[in-house]
Structure 1
């Protein structure tokens, strides 16, 4: 397991999601992320925001409380989307190993934010933001797939580009 802090690591950008100060990634997944980066145009960079998170750590307890509160608020905002709760608020493997990562896209030095309100961004707003950069998003996701990553099936999670490395 590699422990990466904010910055550039062998050409791959790391930007831990608050409140984390580091991203822990399986060394094979990291190597494949480097391969993905090498196949993308120079104007497109990956930004790794999340990897392994031990569920019994202080951060794990914080995330559990955040999930609990988030689920209640999400159900209030989107009662018709209750079937998505596990996909959106589950650990999605982040508590298993470092092969489960979230990445963002940086285009021409600017981070593309498809979920400005996090998982509370409405599907309509998500679709509008994704449509604006559809070609770049599709290219990144396809390159990730070619390099052994599986993109999450949930539309919201797939915009966080939650992907799992399948060695």
Structure 2
């Protein structure tokens, strides 16, 4: 398992999601992300934001509590989307190993904020944000899939580009 800190590592941008200060990732997954990056135009950069998260750590306990609170708030805001709670607030493999990652897109030096309110971004706002950069988003996701990643099926998880390496 590699420990990667904020910044740029071998051409891959890294910005751990708060409150983390680092991203833990399997070496083969890191190499595949570098392969993906090499296939993207120079104006498009991957941004690695999340990898393995130990659920037994202090940070893991914090995440557990914040997920519980998030579920309550999400169900209050979006009662018709309760069926998505498992997909959105589950660990989605991040607590299993470093082959489950979240990446974002940096276009011409600016990060695309596809979920400006995080997982609380409405589906309609997600769609309007995606429409603006649909070609780039689909190109990045397609390149990830060509290199052995599976993009999460849930729309919100897909917008934060949660993907699992299947190699």
TM-score range, shorter chain: over 0.9
Q: Report what 2:28 is aligned to.
A: 28
Residue equivalent to 2:17: 17
Per-residue deviation, 1:19: 0.2
Cα deviation per residue 1:62-104 (whole Å; 9 max; x = unaligned)? 1000000000000000000000000000000000000000000
Unaligned regions of 5+ residues in structure 2, if any?
A: none
TM-score, with length taken from structure 1? 1.00
* Correspondence for 1:44: 44
> How many angstroms apart in 2 are the aligned matches of 1:100 and 1:59?
18
Q: Which residue of 2 aligns with 1:79?
A: 79
Matched, 1:106 2:103: no
> Secondary structure of 1:104's match?
strand
Q: Measure the CA separation in 2 of the matches of 1:9 and 1:58.
A: 27
Once the two structures are TM-superposed, the CA of residue 47 in structure 1 deviates from its matched residue by 0.3
State the partner residue of 1:67.
67
Q: Partner residue of 1:57?
A: 57
**Which residues of structure 1 form unaligned runs of 5+?**
none
4+ residue segments displaced more than 3 Å: none
Helix, strand or coil at the partner of 1:103: strand
Q: Residue deviations 1:19-62, cap 9 Å, x none? A: 00000000010000000000000000000000000000011001
- Per the alignment, residue 127 of structure 2 pairs with 127
Distance in 1 between residues matched to 2:38 and 2:145, nearest whole Å = 14
Tell me, in whole angstroms, the C-alpha distance in 1 between the residues paired with 2:159 and 2:122. 12
Distance 1:102 1:58 in 2: 21
RMSD over aligned CA atoms reads 0.3
2: CA distance between counterparts of 1:114 and 1:8?
Answer: 22
Q: Does 1:5 align with 2:9?
A: no
Structure 1 residues 105-158: Cα deviation after superposition (integer angstroms, max 9, x where no partner): 000000000100000000000000001000000000000000000000000000
- Relative to the length of structure 2, the TM-score reads 1.00
Q: How many residue pairs are counted as aligned between the two chains? A: 167
Task: Output the CA distance in 1 between the equivalents of 2:143 and 2:39.
Answer: 7
